[in-house]
């Protein structure tokens, strides 16, 4: 719980100082912590708050979008999650048409988003064929961000 309190204090501080980039970053990280603890409403609120900040670094924006998509999947909102993943990967491709200059962590994030979107397309196809949502099980492989490694 101490980590969450520190994150919330950091969020308050960044907001008070008008530090948009830092606010978005803390929203991404705090939302991740809430999602990990299955506090999905709080997680979505954090991701939405971070996404409302339009001028953010690409990796932070993509992280907010991907993390929100993973929460939406866990809530069974497959179509909105797929749309968000597609928007996120499109954003990365728009900024980096040539991946030779893309930082490694963003390449890995992009690849994970594309894989997840491909899997979600299969789920949406099943839904479109009439398979009931309660008969579909989607497991999300969690990627631990570097700052969270080794903590349980």
Percent helix, strand and coil across the chain, each rounded to 5? 75, 0, 25
Please tell me the predicted confidence (pLDDT) of residue 13: 77
Per-residue pLDDT of the chain (152 residues; tens, 9 = 90+): 556 665 568 777 777 777 788 899 999 999 999 999 999 999 999 999 999 998 899 999 999 999 999 999 999 999 999 999 999 999 998 888 887 878 878 888 888 899 999 999 999 999 999 999 888 888 776 666 655 555 44
- Where along the chain do its domains lie? 1-56, 57-141
In CATH, what number does 57-141 get?
1.20.58
pTM equals 0.84
User: What burial class does residue 24 get, using C-beta atoms within 10 Å of its C-beta: 0-12 exposed, 13-18 middle, 19+ buried?
Assistant: buried
């Amino acid at each position: 719980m101490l980590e969450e309190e520190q994150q919330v204090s950091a969020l308050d501080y960044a907001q008070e100082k008008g530090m948009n980039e830092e606010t978005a970053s803390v929203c991404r990280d705090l939302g991740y912590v809430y999602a990990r603890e299955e506090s999905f409403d709080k997680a979505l609120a954090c991701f939405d708050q971070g996404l409302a900040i339009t001028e953010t670094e690409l990796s932070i924006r993509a992280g907010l979008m991907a993390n929100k998509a993973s929460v939406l999947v866990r809530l069974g909102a497959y179509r909105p999650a797929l749309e968000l993943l597609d928007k996120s990967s499109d954003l990365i491709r728009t900024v980096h048409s040539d991946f030779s200059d893309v930082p490694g962590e963003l390449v890995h994030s992009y690849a994970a988003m594309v894989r997840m979107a491909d899997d979600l397309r299969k789920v949406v196809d099943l839904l479109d064929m009439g398979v009931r949502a309660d008969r579909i099980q989607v497991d999300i492989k969690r990627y631990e961000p570097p700052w969270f490694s080794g903590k349980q």
